[in-house]
């Protein structure tokens, strides 16, 4: 017997464990999770037997809140302001100034045109999903292969020298900067302090392993998207136009992947909210923190914590 669930209290009680116990499509953005139904006549039904899941489906949890974009726009703005305040004393090195003042060569632009489609095919085939910590090792290998290629070409003088700000003194600064940003994002997304960690099966060893995997992926990804692509865009279009182009390309990158892998889910309001609001918002913060710090560790740590914390924190 299947009945529509109208009791909001019961709905909340049923959906909470569903987000961790069953593997169904969900939307995540900066700690903000949305679960939704497919289009058409399909429905998810969640049944219980003595408090335990017997059918891995659940009722519609998609809600259209008009104030979400306003609230999270303010959160993006506050986070960007915090990043700016914490980086007021930072300035690009002379070597980086020279790189930014030069126009990108034809080879550098051709590399962008060749690398993005190649990595897009690989990530889409691997099931690219924004804010998802399920990462394919093949994608990680591809990003570090790209970094090695860029390093080799720069060393041979084919492209400009790459400056990622990877110095010893920047490590501590990156930790402080990214931790402050992710603290604001996490607390004001959930509107509460975390109460503990989800059981990872191996206690702190499991947490360290999970975070390490997220960080290795994020560093490889940011070395290309912020360290190379954004820098080329800034040199080609100017500082803010370059950041705008970076955010736009990343947004269309995720939209194109969703169109290929999950075209039916594009009818979901929250799916569109994720792709055209949370993805560009997060991409802007990552671009902005790199712009202000010129340190690839800052944006890499921020992205890795945004991937890591939602899957281990309990609120």
Minimum mean pLDDT range among 12-16, 80-84, 169-173: 12-16
Chain position carrying tokens 């560790």: 297
Give per-residue pLDDT as tens, 142-201: 999 999 999 999 999 999 988 887 777 778 888 899 999 999 988 888 776 766 666 555
How confident is the model at residue 9, as a pLDDT? 64
Greater pLDDT, 48 or 299: 299
pLDDT range class, residue 93, cuts 50, 70, 90: confident
Q: What is the value of pTM for the model shown? A: 0.79
Across 31-48, average pLDDT: 45
pLDDT, one tens digit per residue, over 42-56 is 444 444 445 444 444
> Average per-residue pLDDT in the chain?
80
Mean pLDDT over 120-138 rounds to 81
Q: Rounded to whole angstroms, how far apart are CA atoms 178 and 184?
A: 10
- Reported confidence tier of residue 234, pLDDT bands at 50, 70, 90: very high
pLDDT tens, position by position, 132-150: 767 888 999 999 999 999 9
Report whether 215 contacts 301 (CB < 8 A). Answer: yes
pLDDT at position 104 over 50: yes
Beta-strand relationship, 46-49 and 52-56? antiparallel
Q: Which two tokens stand for residue 106?
A: 């034809």
Asked whether residue 237 carries a pLDDT value surpassing 80, the answer given is: yes
At 24 the pLDDT is 43
| Residue 2 pLDDT level (bands cut at 50, 70, 90) | very low
More confident residue, 44 or 307: 307
pLDDT at 29 > cutoff 60: no
pLDDT of residue 6: 60
pLDDT at residue 7, as a whole number: 61
CB 159 within 8 A of CB 153: yes
Look at residue 196 in the predicted model and tell me its pLDDT: 66
Return the pLDDT at 56: 41
- Please report the pLDDT score of residue 133 as a whole number: 64
């Amino acid at each position: 017997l299947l009945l529509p669930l109208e009791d909001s209290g019961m709905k909340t009680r049923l959906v909470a464990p569903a987000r961790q116990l069953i593997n169904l499509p969900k939307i995540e953005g900066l700690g903000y999770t949305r679960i939704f139904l497919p289009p058409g006549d399909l429905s998810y039904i969640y049944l219980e037997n003595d408090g335990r899941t017997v059918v891995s489906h659940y009722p519609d949890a998609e809600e259209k809140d008009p104030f979400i974009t306003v609230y999270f726009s303010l959160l993006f703005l506050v986070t960007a302001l915090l990043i700016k305040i914490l980086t007021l004393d930072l300035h690009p090195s002379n070597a980086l100034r020279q790189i930014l003042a030069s126009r990108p060569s034809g080879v550098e632009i051709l590399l962008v045109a060749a690398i993005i489609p190649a990595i897009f095919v690989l990530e889409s085939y691997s099931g690219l999903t924004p804010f998802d910590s399920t990462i394919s090792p093949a994608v990680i290998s591809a990003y570090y292969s790209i970094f090695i290629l860029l390093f080799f070409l720069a060393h041979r003088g084919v492209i400009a020298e790459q400056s990622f700000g990877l110095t010893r003194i920047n490590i501590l600064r990156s930790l402080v900067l990214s931790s402050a940003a992710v603290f604001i994002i996490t607390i004001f997304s959930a509107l509460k302090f975390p109460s503990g960690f989800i059981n990872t099966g191996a206690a702190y060893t499991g947490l360290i392993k999970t975070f390490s995997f997220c960080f290795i992926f994020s560093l490889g990804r940011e070395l290309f998207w912020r360290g190379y692509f954004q820098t080329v865009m800034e040199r080609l279009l100017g500082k803010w136009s370059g950041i705008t182009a970076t955010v736009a390309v990343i947004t269309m990158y995720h939209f194109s992947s969703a169109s290929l892998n999950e075209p039916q889910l594009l009818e979901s309001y929250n799916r569109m909210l994720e792709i055209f609001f949370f993805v560009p918002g997060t991409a802007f913060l990552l671009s902005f923190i790199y712009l202000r710090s010129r340190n690839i560790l800052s944006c890499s740590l921020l992205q890795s914590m945004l991937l890591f914390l939602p899957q281990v924190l309990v609120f």
